[in-house]
Amino acid sequence: MSESIEFAIVGAGMAGLTAAAMLRQNSRRVVLLDKGRGVGGRLATRRAGESRFDHGAQFFTVRDARFRAAVDQWRAAGWVTEWFTETGHTRYRGTGGMNGLAKELAKPFDVRTQTAVTRIEAADGGWLLVTGAGDEIHAGNLLMTAPVPQSLALLAGCLAALAPDVFEDLRGIDYDPCFALLATVEGPGLVPAPGYVRPETGPIAFLADNTRKGVSTGPAALTIHASPGFTRDYFDAPHEEIARLLLEAAAPWLGGAVTAWQVHRWKFSQPITPVSAAFLYSATPAPIAFAGDAFGGPRVEGAFLSGLSAAEAFLALH
C-alpha cells in the first residue's frame, strides 16, 4: 500500500498525541504510527488475570500553566485524578491506569498501532516512511517522538543531511534503562497508604501497590521499578534472577506469598541527558522535528510541552 499525507507522527505517546491535537485544531491532516499494540508508549498499563499494573510512568506532576490547563480538562472529564501530594507537588494518575489517559487522548485521531516504521528516507521534498508490513507512506512533514536513539536508527540513511547542530544535539541524548517487575501477592500486602514506597538504598527505586493506588482490584498488585544501576548490571540476566533479587529486596512490603510475576525491561526509560530546547527542527533534507521527553524535561509534562511546542513551530513555519 502507498499513500500520501501532510503530517506523519512517529510515536503515539504523550508527545505525539499532544502534537496531533494541536495540528488537528489547526485543520492539519495527521497520521500517527506506533509500533505498540496500543497507544501511550511509556504511559503503560498491563492486565494480568484480575490485576492491573501501571508499569511505565507511575504518576505525573504539573508545573507549567499550559499543562495545567490540559490537566484541568482531563480531571473534569474523569480521565485523571489526584494520587498523592509530596514536597508541594500533587501527583496525578490515570483514573483507570496511566494508559487510560493516552487512550482517551488518541480517540479523535487516525492512529495506526502495531505499525513499526522500519526505515525513513527523504524523497520528493518530503519523507518516505516504510513500515514493517512493507507499506509506504509519503509525508510532507515528519515529527519523530520515539526515544532518540531509535529515531536516529530509522533515519540512518539521511542523518548527514540534517542541520549539523540538530544532529550534534541528538547524538548526545542517552536514557536510563529500568526493569519493571510486576507481581501479585496473596492478601493486601504491606505497602502503606497511599500505595508507594521509595527505598533509600538497594536495587528498588520505586515500589507501588496498584490496588492501594486505585488502579487494580483484589490482592496487592505490585510494580517494582529497579534502580538504573541495578538495571544496567543485570540487563541481560535471566528474568528468574532479576525477579529473585527484586522480590528479596521487596520482602518488607510483600506480606504474603507471591502468586505470579513478570519482568518488563524498559531500554529507554527516562532521558539522562535531556537537551534544553523544547524540540529540535531541521528544514533539511525535508521538514522534520524531534520531540518527546528528551527535550521538554524527563517526564510526562516534558513530553506534553515538547509535542505542543513542536506542533506550534510546524504551524508557524508551514
**Residues 65-104: x where in contact with ligand FAD by CB under 6 A, - otherwise, as a string:** ----------------------------------------
Look at residues 266, 255, 272, 273 and name the one whose alpha carbon lies nearest to residue 230. 266
* Residue 10 near ligand FAD by CB under 6 A: yes
Q: Which of 109, 266, 279, 314 binds ligand FAD (CB under 6 A)?
A: 266
* Residue 45 near ligand FAD by CB under 6 A: no
Q: Which of 280, 300, 305, 313 binds ligand FAD (CB under 6 A)?
A: 300
Q: Which of 7, 8, 9, 16 binds ligand FAD (CB under 6 A)?
A: 16
Choose one: 12-20, 21-29, 68-76, 249-257; the region binding ligand FAD (CB under 6 A).
Answer: 12-20
Closest to ligand FAD by CB, 9 vs 185, is 9
* Residue 35 near ligand FAD by CB under 6 A: yes
Minimum CB separation of residue 125 from ligand FAD in Å reads: 23
* Residue 228 near ligand FAD by CB under 6 A: no
**Residues 161-200: x where in contact with ligand FAD by CB under 6 A, - otherwise, as a string:** -----------------x-x--------------------
> Which residue in the block uniquely carries the three cell numbers 544535539?
169
Minimum CB separation of residue 309 from ligand FAD in Å reads: 12
* Residue 58 near ligand FAD by CB under 6 A: yes
Closest to ligand FAD by CB, 182 vs 245, is 182
Per-residue HEC secondary structure of the chain comes to CEEEEEEEEECCCHHHHHHHHHHHHCCCCEEEECCCCCCCCCCCEEEECCEEEECCCCCECCCCHHHHHHHHHHHHHCCEEEEEEECCEEEEEEECEHHHHHHHHHCCCEEECCCCEEEEEEECCEEEEEECCCCEEEEEEEEECCCHHHHHHHCHHHHHHCCHHHHHHHHCCCEEEEEEEEEEECCCCCCCCCCEECCCCCCEEEEEEHHHHCCCCCCCEEEEEECHHHHHHCCCCCHHHHHHHHHHHCHHHHCCCEEEEEEEEEEEEEECCCCCCCCEEECCCCCEEECCHHHHCCCHHHHHHHHHHHHHHHHHHC
* Residue 203 near ligand FAD by CB under 6 A: no
Q: Which of 5, 43, 278, 288 binds ligand FAD (CB under 6 A)?
A: 43
Size of the site for ligand FAD (CB under 6 A): 38
Look at residues 63, 62, 60, 55 and name the one whose alpha carbon lies nearest to residue 93. 60
Choose one: 37-45, 81-89, 230-238, 308-316; the region binding ligand FAD (CB under 6 A).
Answer: 37-45
Q: Which of 117, 170, 183, 185 binds ligand FAD (CB under 6 A)?
A: 117
Question: Degrees (nearest 5) of the Cα angle 110, 78, 26?
Answer: 35
Closest to ligand FAD by CB, 131 vs 211, is 131
- Rounded to whole angstroms, the Cα distance separating 152 from 147 reads 9
* Residue 210 near ligand FAD by CB under 6 A: no
Look at residues 246, 225, 216 and name the one whose alpha carbon lies nearest to residue 47. 216
Binding residues vs ligand FAD (CB under 6 A): 10-16, 33-36, 41-43, 56-60, 116-117, 145-147, 150, 154, 178, 180, 225, 266, 269-270, 292-293, 298-300, 303
